[in-house]
Amino acid sequence: MSDQTHAHADPSLTLVLERIVDVPRELVWAAWTNPVHIVKWFAPAPWVTTECQIDLQPGGMFRTVMRSPDGALFPNIGCILDIVPNERLIWTDALLPGYGPSTTPFMTAIITLESVGEKTRYVATAIHSDHAGRKKHEDMGFQFGWATALDQLVAYMKTAP
């Protein structure tokens, strides 16, 4: 698989989580593209994802609502930019579904998957528009939060119907 999708992203604006996970990439792909699955693992516990909508096509919606431990709801809506089944999913909150401009851009996410035997090389990249946004995401706990969510994804997909 080529890494050309984000080869030109400024590394000082990106956060990356890379790991080999013990789940075939088709299951990781299903976990990322099926709302029934996303609500089971997407938010790092004790947070939960209460809602998810995905229109899996360029220009389609990627929407989640997360609930904090104190009950506050955090809706996130973005636009899917690129899909290569079982290999790559890219979406951004800089655009709304249908490529409409967002008033609250935060990041563009790139999920890439590569088979490594029966396992998957998983790379999650968050690209930010400025250093303040990257720092905010890092300070929010990007590494811990995304790693915890990935652990939840793996555990869930090992037992998912």
Average confidence (pLDDT) over 81-102 = 97
pLDDT, tens digit (0-9, with 9 covering 90-100), for 16-41: 999 999 999 999 999 999 999 999 99
Residue 112 near residue 5 (C-beta atoms within 8 A): yes
pLDDT at 7 over 70: no
Q: What's the predicted TM-score (pTM) here?
A: 0.92
Residue 34 near residue 52 (C-beta atoms within 8 A): no
68-72 LR contacts (CB < 8 Å, sep 24+): none
d(CA 126, CA 106): 9
pLDDT at 143 over 70: yes
DSSP SS3 for 106: coil
pLDDT at 130 over 90: yes
Token pair of 72, please?
Answer: 């506050």
Confidence of residue 4 (pLDDT cuts 50, 70, 90): very low
Question: Which residue's entry shows tokens 């899917």?
Answer: 80
- Vertex 155, ends 153 and 116: CA angle to 5°? 75
| Domains of the chain in sequence order | 13-159 (3.30.530.20)
Total Cβ atoms within 10 A of residue 12? 8
Sheet of 88-92, strands arranged across: 14-21, 119-127, 108-116, 88-92, 73-84, 61-67, 48-54
Q: What percent of the chain has pLDDT over 90?
A: 91
User: How many angstroms separate the most distant Cα atoms in the chain?
Assistant: 42
d(CA 51, CA 46): 16
